[in-house]
Amino acid sequence: MATQRAEGGTAEGPSVDRTNALLAALTARRAAQEKAREAGTGSTPEQGSSKRRGRDEKSDRSSSESRSGESSSSSQSTDFTPPKKKRRYPFVDSIMEVVMPKLRTPTQLKRYDGASYPVAHVNSFKAAMLYAGTPDEVMCRAFPSILDGDAQLWFSDLPSGSISSFKQLSKRFTSYFATSRTIKRTAHCLKNVVQGKEESLKDFLIRFTKAARQIQGLKMEVALSYLTDNLRSKLFCCSITKKPPKTMAELLARSTKYITFEEVQQAKERGQSKKEEAEPSRSRGEGYRREDRREDRRDD
């Protein structure tokens, strides 16, 4: 009996120890779970630590992404430049890309405002640019600088990229201001250029040659026929009739001696008239003196 109790005691001892060990493990596990719940990380410490590491990695990634986004946005904001508004020009790109030399607008060129003959203005501009050796593209760019008023408004209304040469620009310019052209004069207009009664030969020839120059393609024979009909100086008329001058310059050169002769004659006539005006006053003075002498004799 004693031996059986001893064996039973020895058999029960290890079972009790195992039970106590299991209870201790359970309590430790529960304590760990409670700590994990309080920290909000899961059921086990290993799971909680892994989850914390995952959250930390996510937060690091999000913060790095946010920083990179901010840096990229800041770099974009600094590098971004708003597109420049393209100014509208009527010239094509090949004209606008030409480097402009330093040009001075000729002082003799008047600014065109649409009130005069456009072809004459274009010809004056071309002559000035030709003297400076200016290429076609530069002529296009320089032409608006001598426009004013209605002409400047016309240029600003031209469609963008519609002008590719100065020939095209001048053609549109002259056709638009065609109504500003002066009335075309014919040789028949010289019929009304007549020398007045008191008009000198010099003044008449200046007026006649000015009117003749305004007639395009005027032949010298036609001009001489109107001149001889309207001329009052018989000597000069006979001279140009016997030997007609070939040019206006020759006509004016030959008229010099007749103008001088006329001026001398007019000076003599003025001197003669002054002498005649002085003679009646002298005769009247002598008459008064004679009467005074007679009265003196009577008094004696």
- pLDDT score, position 109: 78
Cβ(226)–Cβ(193) below 8 Å: yes
Q: What is the pLDDT of residue 5?
A: 44
Q: Evaluate whether 236 touches 255 at the Cβ level (below 8 Å).
A: yes
Query: Which residue in 226, 224, 205, 214 sits closest to 183, CA to CA?
Result: 214
Give which of 147, 154, 264 is closest to 201, Cα–Cα: 264
Segment (H or E) for 237: helix 234-242
Chunked mean pLDDT (size 10), the chain, 300 residues: 44 64 80 73 50 56 57 49 63 91 70 87 90 89 91 92 94 88 78 91 93 89 94 92 93 93 87 68 56 57
Q: How far apart are CA 190 and CA 225, in angstroms?
A: 10
pLDDT at 7: 45
Give the pLDDT of residue 226.
94
Tokens of 157: 């209304």
Backbone angles phi, psi at 112, to 5 degrees: -90, 130
Please tell me the predicted confidence (pLDDT) of residue 289: 58
- Cβ–Cβ under 8 Å, residues 152 and 144: yes
pLDDT at 34: 78
pLDDT the model gives residue 107: 59
